[in-house]
Amino acid sequence: MAFFLSNNMYINWNFLFIIGLDIDKQVPICIEPGIFEWLGWYNQSGLPDWMSIEELITAGFNIDSKYEALVSLPFLVENMSETVEQYYIRCDEVIQNLIKSTEPKG
């Protein structure tokens, strides 16, 4: 079992939910940039500065350092002009792949 969160944990209510259930130390968190919000909000200012995986681990978060993100940060930077439709497609593709990756084999 794992939780998938985008990089913007400072506004991620899912993370507060994990802490509220007191399972944040038991279930690793997979950081997935592909479920980050619409890039159009950041077209003028650029993406926020996020903590690295190493910084999150040092800060005490239970991060799965072996998880390989489906979408990279450079991909997000290259696609800052995505449309709302492209955002929905990106999120749908990532979520569908995450569902497939967590289904039991066999």
Total domains present in the chain: 1
- Given a cut of 60, whether residue 3 has pLDDT beyond it is no
- Given a cut of 60, whether residue 10 has pLDDT beyond it is no
Which residues form the domain of 29?
3-102
Contact between 33 and 73 (Cβ < 8 Å): yes
CA-based torsion, 71, 73, 74, 76: positive or negative: positive
Indicate which CATH number applies to the domain containing 90. Answer: 3.40.50.1240
89-104 residue pLDDT tens: 999 999 999 999 887 7
pTM: 0.77
pLDDT at 98: 92
| Angle value at C-alpha 61, between 2 and 48, nearest 5 degrees | 95
- Given a cut of 80, whether residue 87 has pLDDT beyond it is yes
Tokens 């995986």 locate to 53
Would you list the DSSP string of the chain? --EEE-S-GGG-HHHHHHHHTT-TTTSPEEE-GGG---GGGGTTT-PPPPPPHHHHHHTT--B-TT---SS-HHHHHHTTT--HHHHHHHHHHHHHHHHHHHSPP-
- Given a cut of 70, whether residue 85 has pLDDT beyond it is yes
